[in-house]
Structure 1
């Protein structure tokens, strides 16, 4: 087990080593007094004297090095008293050291995104420090049969029983566990529940990791990347993509006040349609535009068909560059050799999108909004899917299971709430419900303008008129009158919502993490009360896929 040292342990080694050195020096002085005149038999040579001195200096140097490393680890584990107010705290609770390693990776990703970071072991936090935090991410493991890691026991016993006011804290939890155990990720859920009950606001929903699953860790890294300046960074682990073909792309909202949104249809290049479940996620491997790759090759005086080693493959330079983050062009010496150039690159990070269809549709559908960066350039993933890729071109894609957003049983009434391209995940659920013959479905959807941004309107209106969609409530914020959002549509139907919940309904929310998700959550709590909302969440009847 790798645990962080207790606060008092940083001084103890220093005192111990100092005492040992003083004791050895005293012994040497005493023994020296026993010798009068010449040494017995023969006086040692000067070379031996020099060797002894060198050994003593080496011992002193190594002792200093070990003490310095101990102090560094001490500073890493213990919270600083001079933390920047806007710093994100990265807190770990580790049993075997894995949570500590992931916390280090999380901190590095945040720093890469321009975020000030403070690191601490959970055991070093107290009520005062916790109340002073504004943003924190917790990387915690579960051990035994749902127990907290040993180093976290003090926090559990000392801090968690206290009724702390944490309304000023935004947080996220990465919960590590193993599904072979009955209480999967139990401590992560316990910590998440405790933070919510005391008023802390989630930055995004808890992420579960089953036995170091790389796709769940990429999902966590994707969320962490959104907390900074949006700088692209390589995935911690490389996704294993399959080849899909872009079959169709249709702009759904020409002339919209918001960014253009597209319906995309994809099919596997080889083999049959894979299975997935409503609520699952498509991970996309983006590429740079062909014109941008050609411009870089021209600037470097390199040929795109030059063969290079990239990620364990022998590929054409142009193909490798299309899938890579490029080094700065100011490093001219690095850009004149194909292999040296590609060695200075890193793979582009993946992008995630809610799947908007079910396998029975015969295609994988996405609903993607074209995003723009600060300089006006299209976003990495959306630019590739909505602008650069041509119909018929190959898309690197893998489907990631998202059990936290899988559907309830067919007999359970379902309330689906979302905005914008969050309709994608809700559409897949509605399709699955219709296939199962489940008609107790209620959709609340919000966007800007009904005439421009009512995505898949014909389909939704047909389901409503046929009775497959029992209720359809819409909110368009830029139409005539006061700005009205999806949470306002929900509040207007408060009595119906309470009735549906009394009848066992499950609530599913999909869409924007900034704005919509917290506003909908606040409205649900206003209608149902905090205790009932928490009970629904604990029972799996209140689920979210927000980004």
Structure 2
């Protein structure tokens, strides 16, 4: 109401002043100037009130369901708020309960209630929190609660041209870890709206929602890569099949570093497209907006329930194509270097409860033919790039996480840098010791100074990589004291959490914080 009255008064004053100027020319200059000043002041009042209304601290909120995911945002210009609401909507679509609140509406009591929280925060000034997070900083972050029950993810927005890049995001991350909250995945930094970092955030949301197929907010600009080789590495394993894939780019000069990520654009298998067409009695050869319908459907999320199909039956073909969302990308750690002349992946075949193979793993391990083109984009992952070559490295991983660690060991071998210590865990040594010959050669050459393995099914009492690490606590402290960097790659749930707990116990909270701030503790977990 105030906004409409202020605008109306401003308009009325301008109208009356203009009329007075016409009727009395001598009055013209002074009356017009006065009228404009008053109108401008009213406009300023409206702007100030509007800003206060948009940035006002939310009032008391109803108690938050502890089973729901809390999405808290700190936004100055509105971008973080927009991404927070997109995050909440993405989780709600597959049925995840969500509460989305400004940070100033969040307190310690609320954080003590919820089990999972996501934070989307921007930084203003020289590393300062946005206005709608200042009360949270002053009251909640001044406390030292125990949040050991809380799992969290954090999206930090910033601009690397500023000295304190993502400063508030790092401050919040440090406080949460000091309160013993457990990161679901590592801090995701977005430099000036970087689309790749936002896709990585969406990828993590899909995992959080139970491997839900969430469409990308902005699809990657893929390149064409040819699948030249595919080999199963673990025949006879108690686990799902694991495949070693080799791809080559159709363009020359494609570069990446150890730690970078391959974003894959999957496709639906032909039989899934045919089955969908049969269910709706459609002809895949029909041309829709310049493309065959079957070609459109290879790139769209296809429904799997009768209710979803029923909602599509009365649509025109153009509406159908528009209604079906594009397939999301899938991410894989790169296991090779450009010097190898090819890009290599290690992919475990995943399956849904109804027997359908996972979107990305199914495409790469079964449906894409050797020799076929694969849509792929390399995403720089600076958070997992190599340390200074002179530093010792401790590499810890399980399962297909050996892929990202292998790229780092390859880089160390090329540079003839050691010492390096690898701790690797899987099910059975006879079936699941990926790249064993290569790792043995690194041991023989001295590139790999120490190797510790944990094959959980090779003895009655299951032994995992975190157990091996705990048994080597003294050696771990010695390596860290000598400047070693710790790199962890593999499953976020289970391995990464347990390894983090062992590191905290062996090194202490202060040392872990120092390692993280110095870039000596890095993770690529999924």
Residue 221 of structure 2: aligned partner: 240
8 Å contact 2:61–2:105 — kept in the other structure? no
Report Cα offsets for 1:502-539 as digits up to 9, x if no partner.
Answer: 11000000000010001001111121112111211111
Report Cα offsets for 1:239-274 as digits up to 9, x if no partner.
Answer: 1111111000000000110100000000112x2140
Residue 6 of structure 1: aligned partner: none
Structure 1 pair 86–107 and aligned structure 2 pair: CA distance change class (3 A): same
SS in 2 for 1:205: coil
Structure 1 pair 418–303 and aligned structure 2 pair: CA distance change class (3 A): same
Distance in 2 (alpha carbons) for counterparts of 1:121 and 1:225: 23
8 Å contact 1:79–1:119 — kept in the other structure? no
8 Å contact 1:78–1:119 — kept in the other structure? no
CA drift at 1:127: 2.8
Among 375, 381, 406, which residue is 2:360 paired with?
Answer: 381
Distance in 2 (alpha carbons) for counterparts of 1:236 and 1:446: 35
User: Are 1:459 and 2:435 counterparts?
Assistant: no
Distance in 2 (alpha carbons) for counterparts of 1:536 and 1:276: 25
Residue 32 of structure 1: aligned partner: none
Distance in 1 (alpha carbons) for counterparts of 2:504 and 2:311: 54
CA drift at 1:77: 4.9
1:190-269 → structure 2 map (5 Å cutoff): 190-269=171-250
Unaligned runs of 5+ in 1: 1-12, 21-69
User: Are 1:293 and 2:270 counterparts?
Assistant: no
SS in 1 for 2:505: helix
User: Are 1:484 and 2:463 counterparts?
Assistant: yes
Task: Say what the alpha-carbon RMSD is for the aligned residues.
Answer: 2.2
Distance in 2 (alpha carbons) for counterparts of 1:262 and 1:394: 18
CA drift at 1:88: 0.8
TM-score, normalised to structure 1's length? 0.83
Report Cα offsets for 1:444-472 as digits up to 9, x if no partner.
Answer: 00000000000111111111112111111
User: Are 1:276 and 2:246 counterparts?
Assistant: no
8 Å contact 2:259–2:407 — kept in the other structure? yes
Number of positions where the alignment pairs a residue of Structure 1 with one of Structure 2: 476
Among 419, 425, 428, which residue is 1:446 paired with?
Answer: 425
CA drift at 1:233: 2.0
Report Cα offsets for 1:271-324 as digits up to 9, x if no partner.
Answer: 214010100000011111112212323443433333323xxxx33221211110
Structure 1 pair 385–230 and aligned structure 2 pair: CA distance change class (3 A): same
Distance in 2 (alpha carbons) for counterparts of 1:77 and 1:263: 52
TM-score, normalised to structure 2's length? 0.87
CA drift at 1:332: 5.7
SS in 2 for 1:226: helix
8 Å contact 1:273–1:362 — kept in the other structure? no
8 Å contact 1:90–1:139 — kept in the other structure? yes
Among 41, 46, 63, which residue is 1:82 paired with?
Answer: 63
Distance in 1 (alpha carbons) for counterparts of 2:97 and 2:312: 31
Among 405, 421, 424, which residue is 2:384 paired with?
Answer: 405
Residue 484 of structure 2: aligned partner: 505
Structure 1 pair 541–332 and aligned structure 2 pair: CA distance change class (3 A): closer
Residue 317 of structure 1: aligned partner: 293
Distance in 1 (alpha carbons) for counterparts of 2:55 and 2:149: 28
Structure 1 pair 291–533 and aligned structure 2 pair: CA distance change class (3 A): same
CA drift at 1:76: 11
Structure 1 pair 496–99 and aligned structure 2 pair: CA distance change class (3 A): same
CA drift at 1:75: 12
Report Cα offsets for 1:403-450 as digits up to 9, x if no partner.
Answer: 000001111111100000000000010111111111211110000000
SS in 2 for 1:329: helix
8 Å contact 2:123–2:157 — kept in the other structure? yes
Report Cα offsets for 1:112-155 as digits up to 9, x if no partner.
Answer: 12111112111122332232232211100001111111221222
Residue 472 of structure 2: aligned partner: 493
Distance in 1 (alpha carbons) for counterparts of 2:439 and 2:144: 46
SS in 2 for 1:333: coil
Unaligned runs of 5+ in 2: 6-50
Residue 499 of structure 2: aligned partner: 520
Structure exhibiting the larger radius of gyration computed from Cα positions = 1
CA drift at 1:79: 6.2
